[in-house]
């Protein structure tokens, strides 16, 4: 049983560009959350999707947007990339009845 899968694993982008990161949740999971993790820090919550709608959002600007598809997979889009957006982006999923999340291995984004 595949866990949470994310693509790509690594990405290098230029400041000002746009990026799309993808996530397939663990089988049976319908809730997806995205996190940004800078080196040496804990994950910072970006937003959570359930039933194709954004349900909760952390303290991130509108440059960060997302989508959830009918098959529960999700995308994270970041526009107008800044150098400070360089981080590990983690996708996590859970079933509605659960509390703890299963994390994917992340996408490491470098903005140059």
Interface segment toward other proteins; rule CB under 8 A; list 14-22, 61-69, 70-78, 101-109? 101-109
CB 51, CB 72: distance < 8 Å: no
- Interatomic CA distance for residues 29 and 44, integer angstroms: 21
Residue 19 or 106: which CB sits closer to other proteins? 106
Identify the residue among 9, 27, 105, 110 touching other proteins (CB under 8 A): 105
* Minimum separation from the CB atom of position 101 to other proteins (A): 5
Residue 97 in contact with other proteins, rule: CB under 8 A: no
Reference 87, options 37, 45, 42; nearest CA is: 37
Enumerate binding residues for other proteins (CB under 8 A): 33, 35, 40-45, 48, 56, 58, 90, 92, 99-106
């Amino acid at each position: 049983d595949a866990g949470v899968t994310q693509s790509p694993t690594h990405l290098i982008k230029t400041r000002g560009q746009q990026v799309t990161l993808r996530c397939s949740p663990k089988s049976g999971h319908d809730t997806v959350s995205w996190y940004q993790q800078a080196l040496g820090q804990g994950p910072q919550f970006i937003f959570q999707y359930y039933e194709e709608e954004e349900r909760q959002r952390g303290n991130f600007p509108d440059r960060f947007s997302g989508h959830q598809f009918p098959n529960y997979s999700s995308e994270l889009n970041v526009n107008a990339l800044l150098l400070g957006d360089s981080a590990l982006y983690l996708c996590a999923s859970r079933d509605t009845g659960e509390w703890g999340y299963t994390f994917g291995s992340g996408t490491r984004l470098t903005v140059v």
